[in-house]
Chains A and B, each alone.
Chain A
């Protein structure tokens, strides 16, 4: 070739080859070496579709449904696919606020243009029916089915608790939860959340760029089927619970009933209460705020959180401690000398049984004095310390002054003062029996919550031991309830002494001069003890009554409190009587008593 620049073909060919080799190296890198693109491709085209399981239903001890699930619907939006639509009409169909709706649409857009988010939650089936007909007018919107809690009877809100959306803390502490999931927030819903929630199912779907479903991924072999929540059978007696709530309606107070032989809680009523259906679905937020601001504080569970002085009920404990310490015997008698401590008019108590029957204040002042001042030291300060120490150990063994490890969150411990408590309060060696004697009749520093007093009734009924009061009776798929509910807890008191106390408590109800005759139940031997809690500031006393029945082989231990209603022998004893009759006999024959209770209204 004569062409002078012929060699330049090598330069040009070289450039072509260099580019081709460069591309080859780059392609080798991104296709063979770098595996991250594989992952991105999978993330792109695989949509995790979460299928929500039904939350476990909750039953009462006889298998009656207390909580079930109802289908509700969420409106999902995929911002990328949304075209201009009639916002007003959509809001009208779903009866949601326009501004609120715009706000959640904005949020969904900010979250992701390519992922679905719920813009309207918990839509009722009726609204969904009318929306379904018009859904074609709203491209990018779809409907997701969820379930929400429903309560056939509006009872036991404090026990059952409620369910709500997870917060950031829940998401951070448990990988199971994702934004928008539901979680039990209080009560049994919270306690048994791991069982009730079940397990979400995940379907892997192939999607195109518009997130339109294109079919199952690998024929669904990686999918998991949602596992429904486990059924929870509680120890509650729905009929008794309902009746108790009826009795306490329009009063401030609480009732706790326990089956002594098992520790199973038969009923737990706190009044005022609320309808659990109010804390479900879209109305939850609004209603919750309303309940929070209610001056009667209906969200507060008095049965586990109200700290009262135990009042005269505590005399039973004092007697048992004294018997166990050997500082008195069953024949110990005291003249009712009102010079040190006040009392009501009654015959002198001969023996412990009568001391309890008459609820004699000077009697138990002396009993407590013997407990605290055992004469083991010449210094009354030292002696008081020794006495209080042994007293504390025994009282503590009744489950008082501590949080009962029950299965309801938020139980308060109450207070049983020990040496350190008074040392801190008054200074070491600056207190003695004379400083703390009010405790003898349950009016001092001792504080208890109703569930502890119900448990005390169970201890006396069992003659010396208790099972931690609890609500769980059975969890579907699990053989036994937790160990802590199956093992008896023994008090530091010899069982033989309990017979004396039971006799005394029988006397309270049946003998002349007994303070709790209103607690009688036809055909049943009831043992009871009044507790009239004095309030400072001139407010009317709290009426308290503790009881168990029948005396032999007791089947129910119960405490009832009606705040600011006067002596324990009146309203509280009557309520206890009605509850015992309802539980043991199934019917109410004492209609006059029932009428009085129902007619008594505080608000």
Chain B
């Protein structure tokens, strides 16, 4: 075995490379299955077929991989801001000269060739974030630093939202994980998790039920913290009185003043009174619980408001479909329904390569792109699904491990960026095909058909692998 300190080949992380190659190959097989009977010609070199196009994309991606490994890793650190800036420039240009595909202006056409610039903004942002966070004496809790880091993420989000490509814009939220690793308070993650939980609960549980239940949970936690029944009783009494008053008041005030709304107002007033009492006594844990409870209620009402007043009908439908509140298998829920049928009908061992009826007969729209996982689920069954889950979680955890072994902060932050982006795509894409996440159109890395995403993910991954080969160098 060659010494990794002296041999470049030995320094390369071959486990990641093998996982990458396996995914690309398996991905291509599934694209072949999903698109093989679109035409009559069978040659994989015929450039009119999706599977043959993907074949060329893969060859190009391999070239990109080799080239990236050949380039000095310092280039990325050095040019991270110019690359980030260049990409941000291309985005508005795309909006101006791009053509509309599926309602989004996210594509540039050069002849018959199309490119989706937003795919490349992801790695550029990861580079820029890594650059900022690796500055000497960078402290994440300084407001100025937080603003800079936040701006790095918000600018591409806004530009991509302008392209009406909501799915890709959402990807940038995942950098919260990177910030968390670099010292951002756990509260941010906690709040984010709580927000997701409350969002789902708001949709599923009627407000007059959800609010008291939430309040009771808050009281239980208070009791657990304090072991003091005084607070518990007082709180219960107050909540009961509040709720009773709200019901009574809504009786007399009429339809517009619903119980929930009055409860909301009453809880805000109550919160202020209690806050004054608590602050005097300086019971910090209690304060936290109260803040949480209060925040939860305000969040719930915001979600309710945003959902009904701001979201458009089709967006509401998608969310309702996911949560099982609406059944419309031929309308908004068509994709999801057919996708679940494809995956669910695969069974334990699958229907076999090229044997999936859902796949062959095109029941799932976008099956070679965003819904490629359906092909895996249908033709390779639970075993194939398990393989994909293992490959992705294996790759992501391997990348985290690689990131952790970097001496340079830049490399580590970038590594986390790569892992987080892959994780977000993995979680949202597969979650969407099996109906636990709303339908958000983002590709499954290395699997979905398309040159832009394959090249962008390959470039992103191999920059990190190249950075990883420089791990023994002295940090400058």
Contact = CB atoms under 8 A, between A and B. Distances in A.
> Which of A3, A4, A30 has the largest number of chain B CB atoms within 10 A?
A30
A121 interface: no
B420 to A, nearest CB: 8
A246 interface: no
Interface in A32-50: 32, 34, 36-38, 40-42, 44-45
Given A41-B357, A44-B358, A45-B361, A1 B427 contact: no
Nearest to A4: B183
B393 A32 contact: no
Given A17-B397, A26-B434, 12 more contacts: A9-B404, A13-B400, A15-B177, A23-B385, A27-B343, A27-B389, A27-B434, A31-B377, A37-B343, A40-B344, A45-B358, A209-B361
A90 interface: no
Interface in B360-374: 360-363
Contacts of A42: 345, 357
Contacts of A508: none
B358 to A, nearest CB: 6
Interface string B369-406: 00000000110011001100110110011001101100
B386 to A, nearest CB: 6
B343 A23 contact: no
Interface of A: 1, 3-6, 8-9, 11-13, 15-17, 19-20, 22-24, 26-28, 30-32, 34, 36-38, 40-42, 44-45, 113-114, 206-210, 214
Contact of A6 (B343, B404, B426, B430): B404
A44 to B, nearest CB: 6
A16 B421 CA distance: 12
Given A16-B397, A26-B434, A208 B340 contact: no
Contact of A37 (B345, B360, B416): B345
Contact of A19 (B343, B385, B400, B427): B427
Interface residue SS majority, chain A: helix
Nearest to B363: A209
B347 A9 contact: no
A20 B389 contact: yes
Contacts of A36: 344
Contacts of B183: 4-5
Interface residues of B, number: 51
A444 B327 CA distance: 71
A204 to B, nearest CB: 12
Contact of B360 (A22, A26, A214): A214
A206 B362 CA distance: 12
Contacts of A114: 330
Q: Is the interface of B mostly helix, strand, loop or mixed?
A: helix
B78 to A, nearest CB: 23
Contacts of A4: 183
A1 B420 CA distance: 22
15 contacts: A8-B180, A11-B180, A11-B186, A12-B181, A12-B400, A12-B416, A16-B393, A19-B393, A19-B423, A19-B426, A20-B389, A31-B377, A32-B347, A41-B341, A44-B357
A30 B347 CA distance: 8
A201 to B, nearest CB: 23
Contacts of B396: 16
Contacts of B338: 44
A44 B341 CA distance: 9
B348 A32 contact: yes
Contacts of A13: 397, 400
Contacts of B182: 5
Given A20-B389, A40-B341, A44-B363, A32 B427 contact: no
A13 B416 CA distance: 11
Nearest to A210: B362
Given A5-B182, A12-B180, A24 B347 contact: no
A370 B298 CA distance: 106
A12 B423 CA distance: 10
B389 A38 contact: no
Given A8-B180, A41-B357, A208 B393 contact: no
A27 B385 contact: yes
B431 interface: yes
B15 interface: no
A27 B342 contact: no
Contacts of A23: 385, 389, 430-431, 434, 436
Contacts of A11: 180, 186, 189
A362 to B, nearest CB: 84
B363 A28 contact: no
Interface in B285-322: none
Contact of A207 (B361, B382, B392, B426): B361
B139 to A, nearest CB: 11
A37 B377 CA distance: 12
B346 interface: yes
A208 B404 contact: no
Interface string B161-183: 00000000000000001001111
Contacts of A9: 181, 400-401, 403-404
Contacts of A24: 385-386, 389
B382 A27 contact: yes
A37 B348 CA distance: 13
A3 to B, nearest CB: 8
A76 B344 CA distance: 33
B177 to A, nearest CB: 6
Contacts of A32: 347-348, 382
A11 B341 CA distance: 34
Contacts of A113: 330
Contacts of A41: 341-342, 344-345, 357-358, 378
Given A27-B385, A27-B386, A32-B382, A37 B434 contact: no
A38 B344 contact: yes
Interface string B183-195: 1001001000000
A214 B361 contact: yes
B37 to A, nearest CB: 8
A42 to B, nearest CB: 8
B345 A5 contact: no
Nearest to A22: B436
A31 B346 contact: yes
Given A24-B386, A38-B347, A5 B341 contact: no
A207 B177 CA distance: 46
A9 B180 CA distance: 10
B358 A31 contact: no
Nearest to A17: B393
A45 B377 contact: no
Nearest to A207: B361
Contacts of A22: 436
Contacts of B430: 23
A45 B357 contact: yes
Given A6-B404, A19-B427, A12 B358 contact: no
Nearest to A34: B344
A34 B434 CA distance: 13
Nearest to B182: A5
A45 B403 CA distance: 47
B117 to A, nearest CB: 28
